[in-house]
Amino acid sequence: MLLEGSEIQQVLRHGKQLGVIGDCGTIGVHLGMTGQFLYRGPGERLAKGDHVHVTWTLVGPRGKSGGRLVFRDPRRFGGIWAYRDQNALRCRWEALGPDALTIGAGELGERLRPSRATRQVVRNVKAALLDQSTVAGVGNIYADEALFRSGIRPTRPVDELSDTEIDRLSWAVREVLTEAVESGGSTLRDYVDADGSAGSFQLRHRVYGRGGQMCITCGEPLQSGTVAQRMTVWCPCCQH
DNA sequence: GGCAGCCTGGTT
DNA sequence: AACCAGGCTGCC
Write the pLDDT tens digit of every residue in A204-230. Answer: 999 999 999 999 999 999 999 999 999
Write the pLDDT tens digit of every residue in A130-170. Answer: 999 999 999 999 999 999 999 999 999 999 999 999 999 99
A17 nearest nucleotide via C1' and CA: C7
Give, in Å, how far the C1' of C7 lies from the CA of A43: 35
Using alpha carbons, list the distances in angstroms from residue A160 to A39, A127, A135: 47, 14, 19
Spell out the residues 6+ positions from residue A190 whose beta carbon is closer than 8 angstroms to its own.
A34, A36, A74
Q: Which residue is nearest to nucleotide B10 (CA to C1')?
A: A189
Give, in Å, how far the C1' of B4 lies from the CA of A81: 24
A50 nearest nucleotide via C1' and CA: B8
Whether residue A194 has pLDDT greater than 90: no
- Tell me what percent of the residues of chain A surpass a pLDDT of 70: 96
Using alpha carbons, list the distances in angstroms from residue A211 to A67, A73, A88, A214, A222: 43, 28, 42, 8, 5
What's the whole-number mean pLDDT along residues A70-82? 92
In the prediction, which pLDDT does A239 show? 98
What value, to the nearest 5°, has the Cα angle with vertex A133 and ends A127 and A137? 80
DSSP per residue over chain A, as a string? Answer: --STTPPEEEEEEETTEEEEEETTEEEEEE-TTT-EEEEE-TTPPPP-SS-EEEEEEEE-GGG-EEEEEEEE-TT---EEEEESSHHHHHHHHTTS-SBTTT--HHHHHHHHSPPTTT--S--BHHHHHH-TTTSBT--HHHHHHHHHHHT--TT-BGGG--HHHHHHHHHHHHHHHHHHHHTT---SSS-B-TTSPBP-GGGG-SSTT-TTSBPTTT-SBPEEEEETTEEEEE-TTT--
In the prediction, which pLDDT does A81 show? 94
Give, in Å, how far the C1' of C4 lies from the CA of A124: 24
Residue A2: band (very low, low, confident or very high) from pLDDT cuts 50, 70, 90: confident
A224 nearest nucleotide via C1' and CA: C5
Give, in Å, how far the C1' of B4 lies from the CA of A232: 20
In the prediction, which pLDDT does A212 show? 93
A76 nearest nucleotide via C1' and CA: B7
Q: Which residue is nearest to nucleotide B8 (CA to C1')?
A: A75
Spell out the residues 6+ positions from residue A110 whose beta carbon is closer than 8 angstroms to its own.
none
Using alpha carbons, list the distances in angstroms from residue A224 to A27, A211, A219: 38, 5, 15
Give, in Å, how far the C1' of C7 lies from the CA of A99: 17
Give, in Å, how far the C1' of B2 lies from the CA of A131: 13
